[in-house]
Amino acid sequence: MKTIGLDINKALGAITKEQVYAWEGKANACNALLENGNGAGNDFLGWMHLPSSITEAELADIEDTARILRSQCEVIVTIGIGGSYLGTKAVIEALNNSFDWLQAKRENPVLVYAGHNIGEDYLYELTEYLKGKRFGIINISKSGTTTEPALAFRILKKQLEDTLGKEEAKQRIVAITDARKGALRTLADQEGYKTFIIPDNVGGRFSVLTPVGLLPIAVAGISIRELVAGAVSMEKATDVSVPFAENLAAIYAATRNELYKSGKKIEILANFHPKLHYIAEWWKQLYGESEGKDGKGIFPASVDLTTDLHSMGQWIQDGERTIFETVISVETPDHKVEVPMDEADLDGLNFLAGKRVDEVNKMAELGTQLAHVDGGVPNIKITLPEVNPYYIGQLFYFFERGCGISGYMLEVNPFDQPGVEAYKKNMFALLNKPGFEKESEAIRAKL
């Protein structure tokens, strides 16, 4: 099998190769901090060797549970927020047929999502959609008390129990939660739900290769063994023993930190493959939540191209020069479509007749990259040989390892997220949650 590629040549100009390689010592030291566990947040490093530590028994248990859910359900609702949802959705959207959910006859259940917002209309429309359908629930929460997923689970659990009765409903609910404590663990033990464990030392945004991601991905009919195998290969390729010049994650971390140092404060993750949209959504959480601390951090943004060239293209080309792009490029698409000849040629596209659509797309990609570089936007290129589970597994681990190294290079703790709690305190106070009386008084005085 091949390995994903990294090319920083079109970032050179705004910075030099010598400047990137000047980070070698620090990048290696930061990678060593990850390996030896001596850095900040070292109690959340379980993702580091997670791919290579997953056992045959664990994979078989997940696959068996997925088969049972597929046999029972035509729809599975995956409940979770942030890392308990984005990684899963990213993998499934990248690897499933774009229009599979429209098919009347399906091999695998439709996967829908809940608990990632507090939209009343969304929940109403979801409950209406589920009426008359055989559905099950995968509820993902370490604590069981995070507002968005807890609220969705309360509503959907009641709907399932009202439809099937409590005993039958239990057979269609799987809880992925803490091993010993928390509201969801207590409920799962009381009700007898099938459960999987979220490891204590793996944070949500790094959890896609735990049951958090692997169970829904397996339910969708995607090979979790190939996904894990790809991640294992990248775990080896970015190991602390790999020299800097050959270590993709270290070079990526060094390049983006040098660009940040030079005044490039925004990284735009771009793709020319529509199925990769949610990869960027997961990546934004991974880097934003890991690095945005202490008044520091590159702001992660994303675009889908060529679509967004007709909306964001002008700003990227001619706006403030505080940005750089990282482009995910797919070498080989799954399918072949050729442009037909048209006798009238009213659209003027006969010059493309006989060419594959992918060739047109690749030239749009190259033309865009050249234009943006000429416009002062440094470009990093990540090449994905194909969009399949193996290379998606590589890509996820590459970004995770790069994030850990980059966060330490930035001298922040990449594995906490203290700022996430600020809105919750205000929300609970405004809703008069018990225990937030003082905060409620203070907040209402500001209104």
CB 201 within 8 A of CB 46: yes
* CA-wise closest residue to 206 among 421, 49, 326, 383: 49
* CA-wise closest residue to 215 among 247, 177, 182: 177
Q: What is the pLDDT of residue 103?
A: 66
* CA-wise closest residue to 275 among 386, 116, 402, 393: 386
CB 75 within 8 A of CB 109: yes
Six-digit token pair at 150? 């807890």
Residue 424 annotated as catalytic:
yes
CATH of domain 5-41+228-418: 3.40.50.10490
At the fourth CATH level, the homologous superfamily of domain 50-226 is Glucose-6-phosphate isomerase like protein; domain 1 (3.40.50.10490)
Query: Which of 6-10, 331-335, 434-438 has the least mean pLDDT?
Result: 434-438
* CA-wise closest residue to 156 among 121, 123, 190, 108: 123
Half-sphere exposure of 52 (CA within 13 A, CB side): 9
365-383 per-position pLDDT tens digit: 999 999 999 999 999 999 9
Six-digit token pair at 174? 């799987």
H-helix or E-strand containing 174?
strand 173-177
Q: Are strands 323-332 and 110-114 parallel, antiparallel or unpaired?
A: unpaired
Q: What is the pLDDT of residue 162?
A: 97
Six-digit token pair at 157? 């659990």
Enumerate the domain spans of the chain: 5-41+228-418, 50-226
Q: Could you tell me how far CA 89 lies from the centroid of its own chain?
A: 7
Catalytic residue among 289, 291, 325, 365: 289
Bridge partner list, 302: 269
DSSP assignment of 278-344 equals HHHHHHHHHHHHHH--TT--PEEEEEETTGGGGTTHHHHHHS-S-EEEEEEEEEE-SS--BPPP-SS
Looking only at Cα atoms, what is the longest distance across the chain? 75
What is the gyration radius of the CA atoms in the chain, in angstroms? 23
223-256 per-position pLDDT tens digit: 999 999 999 999 999 999 999 999 999 999 999 9
Q: What is the pLDDT of residue 97?
A: 85
Residue 78 confidence class, pLDDT cut points 50, 70, 90: very high
Q: How far apart are CA 386 and CA 10, in angstroms?
A: 22
How far, in Å, are 95, 279, 305, 333 from residue 253 at the CA level? 27, 18, 24, 28
Catalytic residue among 424, 425, 437, 441: 424
Residue 310 annotated as catalytic:
yes
Q: What is the pLDDT of residue 44?
A: 97
Mean pLDDT value across residues 289-307: 97
Residue 441 annotated as catalytic:
no
Catalytic residue among 105, 131, 310, 438: 310
Residues 6+ apart with CB under 8 A from 2: 385, 391
* CA-wise closest residue to 433 among 422, 442, 425, 444: 425
**Do 5-41+228-418 and 50-226 agree at the fold level?**
yes
112-127 per-position pLDDT tens digit: 999 999 999 999 999 9
> Rounded mean pLDDT of the chain?
94
* b (16+ CB within 10 A) / e for 1-19: eeebebebebbbebbeeeb
**What phi and psi, each to the nearest 5 degrees, are found at residue 129?**
-60, -35
Q: What is the pLDDT of residue 408?
A: 98
pTM of the model: 0.95
